[in-house]
Structure 1
Amino acid sequence: MLERLIPSVRIGAAAASMLVLAACASGGRDLPRGGVPTPPVVSDPAPIVSGTMRPYQIRGRWYHPAHQPNYEEVGQASWYGPGFHGRPTATGERFDENALTAAHKTLPLPGLVEVTNLANGRSAILRLNDRGPFVDDRIIDLSRGAAQELGLLNAGLGQVRVRYLGPAPRQGGWVAGGVQTASAPAPAAVAPPAATTTTSIYWIQAGSFADRNNARAATRRLGDRARMDSVHVNGRRLWRVMVGPWGDPNQAEQARRGVIAHGFADAAIVGG
């Protein structure tokens, strides 16, 4: 079973049930004029889990959690799902793949963030209760429910804006269906895709190597589902190590995390 990387500094807190925020249950899905989601008012904030604010190290890299009241960042989001359902998160809460939650490397836990999918304008307010993702180009890891609400479930990855809202309530988070959709320009008319019986295929690219022998060694290290092929980039011949294929994006994401756990920190999902 592929294991999620959990910093050793985590200290458990009492598990919190995934309920709708009481402070805004009556109007959580409504949008004010202009289409901007209204941040919830948290009247009973949960205490920060002290263990999650200590510096920690993953695969030789140090991370330094800190209070960042003005945090706002644009970057890649990924998501994780059934393989971790029911397991403890960094705060001690049980991970619910269908709840609107997320993982971040350095923001206070538990906390609330507003995440906007820049491709479609959809926004959702998520409860941060875990650490990750430990890949350089990714700034947040979404639950399956959050990815579905933001329209990122099938893509697996997407460009998002993350804005920190402050402490999370002592109990709960937004349940699936609490998405808030920000106004976005209507896209140009596009013809619907033609009906097809072809199933989407996902591969994990573990890495690219200039040395063929290094690529062979990586292929052997990753097991029976790994293969090697060659590509030309800017006139150079590189050897890619690919793992797969998978017909389900969630299975591919679980496999990507396993590849990362084998030491390939830049592993990425690719279609083909």
Structure 2
Amino acid sequence: MRPMPAVRVLGTLLLMGSLAGFLGACGSSSRGGGGASTAQRGSYKIGSPYKIDGVTYTPQEEFNRTETGVASWYGPGFHGKSTANGESYDQSERTAAHRTLQMPAIVRVTNLDNGMTTVVRINDRGPFARSRIIDLSRTAAQELDIVRNGTARVRIDQLPAESRAVRDVAISGGGPAEQNAAVAQVASGQRTAPAAAPVQMAAAPPPQAVVVPPQPAPQMVWQTTQQPPSMETPVAYDGRGGGVTVASLAAGAAPAPAPTSALAGSGFYVQTGAFSTMENAERQRGAVRSYGASEVSQASAGGRDVWRVRLGPYSTADAAGIVADRLKRSGYGDARVVSE
């Protein structure tokens, strides 16, 4: 047999070494390996105090929290996006957002209007609209029958044993799947959480469970945040951030054309910004259109025309507040409810 050339032998050895390395890598992947999957697993987080709309929230680790208030839900607009503790939001999972509880934590949510309950895992921050205490995933909201109405009066009861279990799993690097398994293990044994208190359902609950004070007339001051670089800075500001005032606009600027449309009728609206040109207002309108019916309307400030971007109208301030809250969580930090 003729001997194999040295170059061919060397090439064969290199190829075999590469295959061995590849097979070894396939057979030894660690839990959460890889940057993307690690980020989606999230982490245990309490967080520092933070301020939203002038209200300071102080997150803390708790295991026996009970509170009553209004629940809302969030879904398609946030599906797949990162939560406050770094997970990937899945609207089909039983999760929720809370303003101060550690992430993760486990709570039982009871709909006080129909007695239905569900258990959710806290993995996000919010809601920040008036009177709401928890923001549920779509699946959790369906189990409480609040998807259609958007909100419901609820009671939250934290489950101590389950909350400690998911904390320990998260600290050790376990993701949502491992945390859910830990909850199931606790639930199958001796539960130390308090039993759900009986719920007395009203025969005919009022159409509005939350009394909202009258909203002031809209002021000619607007501000938006997180605009694309090509968009014009919104006109005016409320003293908290760098917006250009109408008075500082060039005096010789040509008047802008009439708006494409104006909102008619009375009710509550969510205003996301105001601009000195209709083109920039239309640009933002397109960006927020997925949140509901959006329009551009004309107003006057400092003797000059401005174009407002608003969504609505909504029949109640609470309904408008749900939309404003979702906009804030998407980066429109100064979205606010106005009334006419």
Which residue of structure 2 aligns with residue 257 of structure 1? 326
* Preserved CA contact (<8 Å) 1:102 1:127: yes
* Preserved CA contact (<8 Å) 1:136 1:266: no
Q: Of residues 21, 26, 44 in structure 2, which corresponds to 1:48?
A: 44
Please list, as runs of the form range in 1=range in 2, the aligned pairs for 1:21-170 lying within 5 A after superposition: 48-49=44-45, 52-165=46-159, 166-167=163-164, 169=166, 170=169
Cα distance change of structure 1 residues 73 and 255 upon mapping to structure 2, 3 Å threshold: closer
Q: Of residues 205, 208, 222 in structure 1, which corresponds to 2:215?
A: 208
* Distance across 2 between alignment mates of 1:68 and 1:254: 29
Cα distance change of structure 1 residues 262 and 67 upon mapping to structure 2, 3 Å threshold: closer
* Distance across 2 between alignment mates of 1:135 and 1:266: 10
- Structure 1 residue runs of 5 or longer lacking an equivalent are 1-11, 18-46, 190-204, 232-239
Shift of 1:136: 3.4
Which residue of structure 1 aligns with residue 312 of structure 2? 244
Please list, as runs of the form range in 1=range in 2, the aligned pairs for 1:170-209 lying within 5 A after superposition: 170=169, 171-172=176-177, 208-209=215-216
Shift of 1:244: 2.4
Cα distance change of structure 1 residues 163 and 225 upon mapping to structure 2, 3 Å threshold: farther
* TM-score of the aligned structures, taking structure 1 as reference length: 0.55
Moved over 4 A (4+): 181-189, 215-218, 223-226, 228-231, 250-256, 264-268
Shift of 1:216: 10
Instruction: Indicate the SS of the match to 1:74.
Output: strand
* Structure with the larger RCO, 1 or 2 (CA within 8 Å, 6+ apart): 1
- Structure 2 residue runs of 5 or longer lacking an equivalent are 1-36, 170-175, 185-195, 205-211, 224-233, 236-258, 271-310
* Distance across 2 between alignment mates of 1:120 and 1:75: 15
Which of 1 and 2 has greater Rg? 2
Which residue of structure 2 aligns with residue 28 of structure 1? none
Q: What is the aligned residue count?
A: 191
Which residue of structure 1 aligns with residue 252 of structure 2? none
Greater strand fraction, Structure 1 or Structure 2: 1
Cα distance change of structure 1 residues 228 and 65 upon mapping to structure 2, 3 Å threshold: farther
* Distance across 2 between alignment mates of 1:126 and 1:114: 6
2:11 equivalent to 1:15 = no
Greater helix fraction, Structure 1 or Structure 2: 2
Which residue of structure 2 aligns with residue 41 of structure 1? none
Instruction: Indicate the SS of the match to 2:96.
Output: strand
Q: CA offsets, 1:68-125, max 9 Å, x none?
A: 2221000011110001000110111110011110000000111101100000101111
* TM-score of the aligned structures, taking structure 2 as reference length: 0.45
Identity percentage over the alignment? Answer: 38
